[in-house]
Amino acid sequence: MIIASLAFYLFSFMAIVGALNVIFQRNPVHSVLWLIFTFFNAAALFVLLGAEFVAMILVVVYVGAVAVLFLFVVMMLDINVVVLREGFLKYLPAGALVGVILLVELAIVFGGWTMAPDAESLRLVPTPNPSDVANTQALGQVLYTKYAYLFEASGLVLLVAMIGAIVLTMRTRTGVRKQKISEQVGRDAKETVVMVQVQSGKGLS
């Protein structure tokens, strides 16, 4: 087991280093790259937990899709961190106030945190024995039976958000030349080509 615990400390240390670098890098693109590094270490921690499905989904969704978009946007925007830092002192009091409020709230939440009396029995009911089924199957058995409605509802929320984003950014532009493949394929020689007999020396009038 010593290797597993060494691996755990390695990955968690690297995750913390990565997360710190996300904040402290001067260049936003470097920040995103460190963020990706942090995601990887988090995925490795999931693998150590034996939750390989969640680990792979983390890599596919966050690293493979979300972070690509982040990187894409950050690269396109020409963000100058030095200019952003200029207002640092001016906004410091307001920012610190928000931070303190959040900290107090968190402290209150954690101070009053107790386990619900029947939580333990709830936890045991839908969970299959991990030695019997692979954890992909186990997750599916819980998500699509006990929590099927909640799962579908969260899917619908995401769908609404997606449609909203599309509607917000969609605009019909005039004067754009677009290739319409169905029109091109549907063209008939009879309508588009005229055969004429041209007399020599006269040409077409």
Partner 1 sequence: MAEFWTEYLAPFLWIAGKILLFVVPVALTMAFLTLAERRIIGAMQLRIGPNVIGPFGLLQPFADAVKLLFKETVVPTGASTVVFFLAPMVTFSLALLGWAVIPVSAGWYISNLNVGVLYLFAISSLGVYGIVMAGWASNSRYAFLGAMRSAAQMVSYEVSIGFVMIAVLLTAGTLNLSELVESQRGMWYFLPHFPMFIVFFISVLAETNRHPFDLPEAESELVAGFMTEYSSMSFALFFLGEYINMIAMSAMVTTLFLGGWLGPQDMLPGLGFLEVVLGWVPGIIWFAAKVAFCLFIFIWVRATLPRFRYDQLMRLGWKVFLPLSLAWLILTAGFLVYTGKLAH
The residues that touch partner 1, with contacts defined as CB under 8 A, are 3, 27, 29-30, 33, 36, 52-53, 56-57, 59-60, 63-65, 68-69, 71-72, 75-76, 134-136, 178-179, 181
**103/161 with CB nearer partner 1:** 161
Least separation, in Å, of the C-beta of 166 and partner 1? Answer: 12
Least separation, in Å, of the C-beta of 72 and partner 1? Answer: 6
Least separation, in Å, of the C-beta of 116 and partner 1? Answer: 32
Amino acid at 22: V
Least separation, in Å, of the C-beta of 121 and partner 1? Answer: 27
Q: Which two tokens stand for residue 142?
A: 């819980």
**8/53 with CB nearer partner 1:** 53
Least separation, in Å, of the C-beta of 10 and partner 1? Answer: 16
**61/102 with CB nearer partner 1:** 61
Q: Is the separation of the CB atoms in 32 and 73 below 8 Å?
A: no
Coil, strand or helix: which one is 35?
Answer: helix
Written in H, E and C, the secondary structure of 133-189 is CCHHHHHHHHHHHHCHHHHHHHHHHHHHHHHHHHHHHCCCCCCCCCCCHHHHHHCCH
Distant-in-sequence, close-in-space partners of 53: CB < 8 Å, separation ≥ 6: 134, 135, 136, 139
**75/162 with CB nearer partner 1:** 75
- The residue whose two tokens read 């693109």 is 29
**90/173 with CB nearer partner 1:** 173
Q: What angle do CA 17, 18, 22 make, to 5 degrees?
A: 120
**45/63 with CB nearer partner 1:** 63
Least separation, in Å, of the C-beta of 190 and partner 1? Answer: 27
Alpha-helix residue ranges (DSSP H) falling in 60-117: 67-76, 81-85, 88-111
